[in-house]
Amino acid sequence: MALSKKFFGVTACFLIITLVLYTQLEFSNDNYGPKLNPSERGHWGPLIGVGLVPVAAAVLPHSSQVLLWSADQGDVFQGKSSDPDTTLTALYDIKTNKVMAPMLSNLQHGMFCPGMSMDFNGTLMVTGGKTAARTSRYSDVSRVWASGINLTAGRGYHSQTTLSDGNTFTIGGSWSGGIGGDNADMKDGELFDVKKNEWLKLPGCKVEAMLTDGDAFESDNHAWLFAWKNSSVFQAGPSRAMNWFDTNGAGKIVSAGPRASDDNAMNGNAVMYEQGKILTLGGAPHYSLSQATDAVHLITLGTTYALPEVETLQQMHYQRVYANSVVLPTGDVFVSGGVSYAMQWQEKNATYVPELWSPQSRKFTKLARMNISRSYHSFAVLLPDATVLTGGGGLCYIECEDDTVNHMDLQIFTPPYLFKRNGRGLAIRPKIVFADASVAVGRRVLITTDVMVKDISMVRFGTATHSINTDQRRIALNPTLLSDSGVVRGWTYEVWVPDDAGVALPGYWMLFAVDDEGVPSVGHTVHIVL
C-alpha cells in the first residue's frame, strides 16, 4: 500500500512537471507555438537574403517592388568616417520573391536614419539622415533616384508626413545636423511647398512641446505624426504630451493634452487603424537603457485642434520597444519584434512572439513565434497580397559586439485570415474582378467581386524605418450592393471615399474586399486624387 501511494505520488509529480514544462513550451516568449494551427496563429515563411540590413523600406505602388536601404555599408555604420555621399540600396520583387543585388546610390546623400514619406504621386521623398540637409526622391515609374531641394535645417531621426494639401511636413531630428538647443537651433517644423518647390521654416511649429525626457539629441526623435484635415498634423507621441500642428502660414501649435497616464514612449508604435482612430503601443521612457512598456492606448480624433478622446486599453502580452506594427485590411493590428529593455543592437531581451490586436474585442492574440529577432533597425510593412513583410535589425555603430545581431534578410508573415479554419491549406480568397484605378476625394468607387463580400477597406502604401510609418493608414468603407448577377458577372458594389483629403490622404492605396469569413482579397491599387 505504501508502495502504491509512493508510486502514485511520483506519477502525479511527474504529470505536474510535464504540464508545467508543456505550458512553458507552448506559452513562453522563447518557445511559443511550435505546432500551432496557422488559421489561429499564422505562419512564417523562409528567410530571404538581401545582402544588407534593411533599416528602411518603402512599398512601391507601380512596380510591385519594395525599396530597401541601409547606410553606405550593408552591415555597419561607421559614424563620422562613413561616406556621406552614398547609400546601399536593394529592391525586393514581390511577384518573383527575388532581391535585386544591392547597389550604391551616389546622390551626395547618406540616407541612413532619415525622414521619409510618399507623396500624392507615389514618389518617395527621403530627407536628412547621415547627410543631414540633403533630400532625395525615388520614382518607381522611372526607377531612378533624383536629388531634391535641401532642408532648411539638418535632421536625422526625424519624422515627416505628406499633408492633405500635397505639401510635406517634418519636425525634430537632433541625431544629425547638430543638437537642437545645444550647438544648433531647435529643430522646429518646416514645410516642403510643392508649388514653390522649396522648404520653408515654420517658426510657429515649436518642437519644444513634443520633447521627451531623454538626452538632448534623442528627445526630439521619431514623432508619431498623422496628417489630418485642413493641412493639420496630429502628433500622438512618443512624448506623453500630444499636440496639433497647424502648417498654414508661419505655423502654429495647439496642445492636445496628455496621452492619458502614459509615460514618454520613445520608439513605440502608433497606427491609424480606422479613420480618426489611432492605436499606440509600447515604447520606453528613454531611447536606450530603459525598461519597455506594454501600454496600449486608443486615441480618437474629433474636431481639428480639439482635445482628442484617449482610452487606456488592455496591455499587450509583452513589453516592447523598437517593435513594428502594421494595420491589416480587416482593421486588426499586427505587432512584431522589439525588446523588453531598450538597448540598441542587443537581442538578449528580444520578444519573439508577435501579437494581433482586434478592434472588436480590443484584446491581443499571440501568434506564431518568429525564429529570429527583429528589433532596432528593423521594419514591417503590409504587402498588396495582405501578407506582412518584415526585415532587418542590427547595423551597429562602428562595430558589432556580436555579428549575429545583423539580420540581412526578409521574412513574410501570412496572417491567420489567409488559412482555412482547419489549418489545412490556404483559404479561398475573394477576387476583385474590376475596380476603378483612380478616384477623387469624396467620389464613388465601383468594385466588382467574384463572390459576395462583407467589408471593403483601403490601406495606404507604407514606408517604414525606426518603428515609424507615417504613410500607412486604413479607411473602412461602407459597401452598397448594386447588382448580384451571380458567378457569371460577379457582384458589383459602390463605396464612397471620405470627402476630406485629411482622412483619405491622396496618393496610392490598396483596396481590399473581405468576405464574411474575414478573408481578404489581394489588394487592388487605387490612386486617390484631389
Per residue in 281-313, pLDDT (tens digit) is: 999 999 999 999 999 999 999 999 999 999 999
Residues of the chain above pLDDT 70, percent: 92
Predicted confidence (pLDDT) at residue 403 exceeds the cutoff of 90: no
How far is Cα 202 from Cα 99, in angstroms, rounded to an integer?
Answer: 40
Confidence of residue 47 (pLDDT cuts 50, 70, 90): very high
Helix (H, G, I), strand (E, B) or coil at 405: helix
CA distance 193 to 249: 11
End-to-end alpha-carbon separation of the chain, Å? 86
Closest CA to 237 of 500, 467, 57: 467
Q: What is the mean pLDDT of residues 266-277?
A: 99
pLDDT of residue 5: 39
316 neighbors 282 (Cβ within 8 angstroms): yes
Q: Is 18 helix (H, G, I), strand (E, B) or coil?
A: helix
Can you name the residues that pair with 119 across neighbouring β-strands?
A: none
Where does the pLDDT of residue 488 fall: very low under 50, low under 70, confident under 90, or very high at 90 and above?
low
Which set of grid coordinates corresponds to residue 125? 521623398
Strands (E), 322-425: 324-327, 333-336, 341-342, 355-357, 364-366, 378-382, 388-392, 396-397, 409-414
Per-residue pLDDT, 16: 35
pLDDT value of position 400: 86
DSSP one-letter code for 252 = E
pLDDT of residue 399: 87
Which residues are marked as active site? 376
Residue 220: φ, ψ to 5°? -110, 25
**3 state SS of 17:** helix
Rg of the chain over CA atoms, in angstroms?
23
**pLDDT attached to residue 489:** 75
Contact 225, 244 (CB under 8 A): no
- The answer, yes or no, to whether residue 33 has pLDDT greater than 70, is no
Containing 40, the helix (H) or strand (E) segment is helix 38-41
Q: Are 132 and 80 in contact (CB under 8 A)?
A: no
Q: Are the CB atoms for 467 and 269 separated by under 8 Å? A: yes
**Which DSSP symbol is given to 428?**
P
What letter represents residue 301's amino acid?
L
Residue type, 177: G
H or E element, residue 27: helix 2-27
CB 434 within 8 A of CB 450: no
Q: What is the mean pLDDT of residues 81-96?
A: 94
Indicate the SS3 state at residue 79. helix
pLDDT digits (tens, 9 = 90+) for 232-271: 999 999 999 999 999 999 999 999 999 999 999 999 999 9
- Residue 220: in which H helix or E strand, if any? none
Q: What is the pLDDT of residue 48?
A: 98
Q: Once rounded to an integer, what is the mean pLDDT over residues 27-38?
A: 58
Residue that the C-alpha cell 536593394 belongs to: 90
Condensed to tens digits (0 to 9), the pLDDT of residues 151-201 reads: 999 999 999 999 999 999 999 999 999 999 999 999 999 999 999 999 999
Whole-number Cα distances in Å, 17 to 21, 25, 73: 6, 12, 49
* Of 35 and 344, more confident: 344
pLDDT above 80 (res 17): no
By C-alpha distance, which of 167, 148, 149, 168 is closest to 159? 168
- Among 115-129, 410-424, 477-491, the minimum mean pLDDT is found in 477-491
Phi-psi region of 461 (alpha: psi -120 to 50; beta: other; left: phi over 0): beta
Strand partners for 87? 105
Determine the pLDDT at residue 402.
84
Q: So what's the pLDDT on residue 15?
A: 34
Cβ–Cβ < 8 Å for 262, 240: yes
| Beta-bridge partners for 296 | 281, 313
Cell of 303: 474636431
pLDDT at 11 (0 to 100): 35
- The answer for 423, left when phi > 0, alpha when psi is -120 to 50, beta otherwise, is left
Of residues 487 and 452, the one with the higher pLDDT is: 452
Which of 142-146, 405-409, 475-479, 486-490 bottoms out in mean pLDDT, i.e. has the lowest?
486-490
Which pairing describes strands 455-460 and 396-397: parallel, antiparallel, or unpaired?
A: unpaired
What's the DSSP call for residue 264? -
In the predicted model, what is the mean pLDDT of the chain?
Answer: 93
Mean pLDDT to the nearest integer, 331-341:
99
Contact in structure between 333 and 355 (CB atoms under 8 Å): no
CA distance linking residue 387 with residue 394, whole number of Å:
23
Residue 3 has pLDDT above 50, yes or no: no
Three cell numbers at 312? 487606456
pLDDT band at 485 (very low <50, low <70, confident <90, very high): low
Residue written as cell 510593412?
A: 381
- Is the torsion defined by CA of 343, 345, 349, 353 positive or negative? positive
Q: Where are the alpha helices (DSSP H) in 434-505?
A: none
Query: Rounded to whole angstroms, how far apart are CA atoms 92 and 59?
Result: 9
The predicted pLDDT at position 216 comes to 87
Q: What is the pLDDT of residue 19?
A: 32
Please state, in angstroms and rounded to a whole number, the distance separating the CA atoms of residues 368 and 365. 10
Return the ∠ at Cα 124 (arms to 123 and 126), rounded to 5°: 145
Contacts of 16 (CB under 8 A, 6+ apart): none
- Confidence class for position 392, pLDDT limits 50, 70, 90: very high
321 near 290, Cβ under 8 Å? yes
pLDDT at 30 over 50: no
Give pLDDT, residue 25. Answer: 33
C-alpha cell at 156: 536625422
The pLDDT of residue 215 is: 87
Please report, for the chain, how many H helices and E strands are present, in that order: 2, 43
Where b means 16+ CB within 10 Å and e means fewer, 151-185 reads bbbbbbbbbbbbbbbbbbbbbbbbbbbbbbbeebe
